[in-house]
Amino acid sequence: MELLQRLTRRQVDTLRSIVEADKDGRGAPLKAIAARLKVSSPSALDHVGALEDLKLVERHRGKSRLTESGRATIVEYQRHHRVAESLFQELGLSPEETCEAAREVDLALSHRTIEQVCEGKGHPVRCPHGQPIPPCKGR
């Protein structure tokens, strides 16, 4: 199974919270991660710990930050999410609706399926919100 397919929605949200809460590049304090996730510090710590076990997050002086592989995983996730959004856009969903629908499938789809959707859509460059879609090998 691919890494994204093994991650939970909570773990992906935790990765994104760490990026957002890491304001100066020195890492995100646990409190800030918990606040973004709207959970208690102990449960935020559970999610962070699971990501540390996967070597996606490392702790430095009490703060959490993404490893190189964590950063690559976020880019891969953005690719899956935004390609899925562009698929739902074709069905006439609003940008907000495409985002909700994409969250239901973006972790489940394999890289291969995402590549096929991307190719079928002519390698879209931006998602329905105008965010860049990280390129695939076909582009």
From the CB of 64, what's the least distance to Zn ion, in Å?
A: 24
Q: Cβ of residue 87: shortest distance to Zn ion, in angstroms?
A: 12
**Taking each helix axis from N to C terminus, what angle separates 30-37 and 41-53, rounded to the nearest 10 degrees?**
100
The DSSP line for 43-107 is HHHHHHHHHHHTTSEEEETTEEEE-HHHHHHHHHHHHHHHHHHHHHHTTT--HHHHHHHHHHHTT
Q: What's phi and psi for 59, nearest 5 deg? A: -105, 135
Q: Give the residue with the Cβ less far from Zn ion, 48 or 83.
A: 83
Instruction: Summarize as ranges the residues that interact with Zn ion (CB under 5 A).
Output: 99, 118, 123, 136, 138-139
Place of tokens 């890492």: 27
Choice between 109 and 118, CB closer to Zn ion: 118
For Zn ion, give the closer residue by CB, 30 or 117.
117
Please, what is the minimum distance in Å from the beta carbon of residue 20 to Zn ion? Answer: 15
We find the least distance from the C-beta atom of residue 13 to Zn ion, in angstroms, to be 12
DSSP output for 105-136: HTTTS-HHHHHHHHHHTT--SB-TTSPBPPP-
Nearer Cβ to Zn ion (57/99)? 99
Cβ distance to Zn ion smaller for residue 60 or 137? 137
- Minimum gap (Å) between residue 135 Cβ and Zn ion: 7
